[in-house]
Amino acid sequence: MHLQQLKHHFEQQKGHRAESVNQLLDFCQQQYVSGCITYSDYRNLFEVLHEKGAQSSHKDKQMV
């Protein structure tokens, strides 16, 4: 899956465009966890989005 495909899928599911690369990264992670995209696609998209400045919303959270 390419970034443009992820953006299109996001728009179809959410009904609007992603506001940031962080929002796309969160969506990508949700799609992977739910089994909608492969690990290979997830890793590729993860790298592309990080190169564009995305940061995971789960990065700084600590377990309680």
**Phi, psi torsion values for 12, nearest 5 degrees:** -65, -45
Note the pLDDT tens digit of each residue in 8-51.
999 999 999 999 999 999 999 999 999 999 999 999 999 999 99
Q: Which domain holds residue 13?
A: 3-51
Residue 60 has pLDDT above 60, yes or no: no
Residue 64 has pLDDT above 50, yes or no: no
Is 46 contained in some domain?
yes
Is 64 contained in some domain?
no
Proportion of the chain in helix, strand, coil states, percent, rounded to 5: 60, 0, 40
Q: 3-class SS at 12? A: helix
How many structural domains are present in the chain?
Answer: 1
Cα–Cα distances in angstroms (integers) from residue 44 to residues 7, 16, 21, 29, 31, in the given order: 14, 23, 14, 12, 13
Is 56 contained in some domain?
no
Is 63 contained in some domain?
no
pTM (global) more than 0.95: no
Residue 63 has pLDDT above 60, yes or no: no
